[in-house]
Structure 1
Amino acid sequence: MVKAFAMPDSAPFLRRENRLDNVLSEMGRALQVLSGAVVAARPNPAGKPVAAAPELSPAEQKHAAGLMRVNHVGEICAQALYRGQAIFCGDAQIKQLFGRAAAEELDHLAWCQDRLRELNSRPSYLNPLWYAGSFTLGVAASCAHRSKNLGFMAETESQVEQHLDRHLKELPSRDERSRRIVEQMRRDEIGHRAKAEEQGGHALPGPVRLAMRGMAKLMTVTAYRV
């Protein structure tokens, strides 16, 4: 009688507890990322601030801050995307891939955050919106086939790589600190894309890629100013 009573009640309870734990974990991670309470595991590629570094003009500083704010938003989105892509992914190997990439993206987030402070600027006011939207996209991708989930990662990183290439051209020539950060970010993003393709990521349909570019453009234009 004890067995017949305990088993039907305990199993569903455990499943509900696990789901609740997952929800609380994701909420905690979102708050950590959005509050700026993140610490890089790797040293900042820009090194420590140097007093003798060339000063930027007010216009250069404002432009550099706008670009680094866009990059910061990109890292907010990356955290949300990878968390969302892993949530319904049943492949342990692919979950590990997302986890490793997310850890490197967390470094990028902290570096961009540090540089914004150095430039006497701030993150985007719309970061909660970017996080929520990216997490939703990640969850949708996680429900797809493994090749599509990885393909979404590969396409995202490919577009980010192109975006960082443009920033390296647009950053003020004297802003070596921002440039070093962006260069390391670019190297990491190339590695993420290559890993996703090696693991079987397939190219996404043209309309999906165009939609992703349109959303990225909207985010870039808005984050530069807001």
Structure 2
Amino acid sequence: MSSRHYSPIDRLLIQLDTAAKTLLPFGGQPARPSPAAPHSDAELSEKDRRHVAGLMRINHTGEVCAQALYQGQALTAKLPRIRDAMEDAAAEEIDHLAWCEQRIHQLGSHTSVLNPLFYALSFSMGAAAGLVSDRVSLGFVAATEDQVCKHLDEHLAQLPADDVKSRAILEQMRTDEAQHATNAVAAGGLRFPGPVKIAMTLMSKAMTKTTYYA
């Protein structure tokens, strides 16, 4: 059933269900198997294991933010087709969320304790963007996904050469996120000016600095 037929109560329940799946341990079930599954685990030093776990924790929190962003935008989108596109993108991000969480636990670490805070902030930002206009909302998606791709490129460069499991996950995420950005622009997303992108970069850096350790 298309989301355009949902009542306001239905939408509220969907939002609560999505938040629970995003924030509770192993709450989301991926539609695709993890790209890491076919690969053997590498023998990492303790230093490398902690570093990779920190990187994957950042990426997991990024996916928490993506879920919240898309759900907030879907809630306030003007056109049903935009709302449906946001909800479809959020469903795809569930795969990334689960893959990152699985890998973090394989590395003997934990997801960020700050995830509820970042979820709330991202949901608010997504809802605000949707209230302005669908074009701004789509532009926000494109700009956000561009930031995510940059982070993924940086993390791929930092991974130990023999950690093929983490690399497989991040490479597939990189492909998916780039497609989300392309889709948002093609759907009419506003191209944000440089100063806005700089502000988004600074906010993103604040998130990565805190969640690497916590």
**In which range does the TM-score fall when normalised by the shorter chain?**
over 0.9
- 2:22 pairs, out of 27, 30, 33, with 33
Letter in 2 for 1:25: I
Q: Distance in 2 between matches of 1:98 and 1:25?
A: 13
Measured after TM superposition, the shift of residue 45 of structure 1 is 0.7
Q: Distance in 2 between matches of 1:111 and 1:98?
A: 21
Measured after TM superposition, the shift of residue 23 of structure 1 is 2.8
Matched, 1:218 2:199: no
Measured after TM superposition, the shift of residue 195 of structure 1 is 0.4
Q: Distance in 1 between matches of 2:8 and 2:178?
A: 34
Q: Which residue of 1 aligns with 2:3?
A: none
Matched, 1:205 2:193: yes
- 2:169 pairs, out of 181, 187, 193, with 181
SS of 1:130's equivalent?
helix
Q: Which residue of 2 aligns with 1:154?
A: 142
Q: Which residue of 2 aligns with 1:131?
A: 119
Q: Distance in 1 between matches of 2:11 and 2:135?
A: 24
1:186/1:218 Cα in 2 relative to 1: closer, same or farther (>3 Å)?
A: same
Measured after TM superposition, the shift of residue 49 of structure 1 is 5.8
Matched, 1:57 2:45: yes
Measured after TM superposition, the shift of residue 163 of structure 1 is 0.8
- 2:61 pairs, out of 66, 73, 79, with 73
Cα deviation digits, residues 165-201 of structure 1 (max 9, x gap): 0000011111110000000000000100110111111
Letter in 1 for 2:45: S
SS of 2:28's equivalent?
coil
Q: Which residue of 2 aligns with 1:84?
A: 72
- 2:34 pairs, out of 22, 32, 44, with 44
Matched, 1:100 2:65: no
The two structures, once aligned, show a CA RMSD in angstroms of: 1.5
Q: Distance in 1 between matches of 2:108 and 2:38?
A: 16
Unaligned runs of 5+ in 1: 1-17
Letter in 2 for 1:44: S
Measured after TM superposition, the shift of residue 20 of structure 1 is 4.1
Letter in 1 for 2:179: G
Measured after TM superposition, the shift of residue 19 of structure 1 is 3.6
Give TM-score scaled by structure 2 length.
Answer: 0.93
Unaligned runs of 5+ in 2: 1-6
Cα deviation digits, residues 33-55 of structure 1 (max 9, x gap): 100211100011111563xx430
Letter in 1 for 2:12: V
Of 197-206 and 109-118, the range deviating more from structure 2: 197-206
Q: Distance in 2 between matches of 1:149 and 1:175?
A: 36
Q: Distance in 2 between matches of 1:22 and 1:197?
A: 26
Q: Distance in 1 between matches of 2:83 and 2:11?
A: 15
CA contact (8 A) 2:65 2:122 kept: yes
